[in-house]
């Protein structure tokens, strides 16, 4: 288990966020976090994450705490997966393989139209 602190840094428009994970120096969590920074995950994919009020615009957005918890659980696995894919993004990752790509694109288009007030 890793005990980390999470900070979010936003760009000026607050439309992009950078998650910064730190741990108390001298702890096992700090050592593991340093090791992870050297090893690194090749991919970190998340669904829409509720940051900077995103949950008001997109009620389906994954709460940030839930995303961070799941991502850290994946990162703490031994061995660390090459791709960090939280459950909410697996349907996107495997859509082509599973034959659901066209349906997924249609669903996403409808959801975006509703969010933008362009239902038709």
Question: What does the pLDDT average to over 83-88?
Answer: 84
Say what the pLDDT of residue 55 is: 65
Say what the pLDDT of residue 104 is: 84
C-alpha 98/C-alpha 95 separation (Å) is 5
pLDDT at 98 over 90: yes
Domain spans of the chain?
A: 5-89
Say what the pLDDT of residue 36 is: 64
Say what the pLDDT of residue 41 is: 47
| Model confidence band, residue 54 (pLDDT cutoffs 50, 70, 90) | low
pLDDT at 93 over 80: yes
């Amino acid at each position: 288990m890793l005990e980390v602190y999470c900070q979010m840094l936003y760009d000026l428009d607050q439309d992009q966020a950078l998650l910064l994970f730190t741990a108390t120096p001298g702890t096992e969590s700090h050592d593991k976090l340093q090791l992870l920074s050297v090893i690194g995950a090749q991919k970190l994919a998340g669904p829409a994450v509720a940051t900077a009020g995103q949950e008001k615009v997109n009620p389906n957005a994954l709460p940030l705490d839930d995303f961070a918890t799941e991502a850290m659980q994946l990162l703490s696995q031994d061995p660390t997966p090459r791709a960090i894919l939280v459950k909410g993004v697996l349907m996107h990752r495997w859509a082509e393989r599973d034959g659901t790509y066209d349906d997924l694109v249609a669903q996403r288009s409808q959801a975006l139209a509703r969010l933008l007030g362009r239902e038709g």
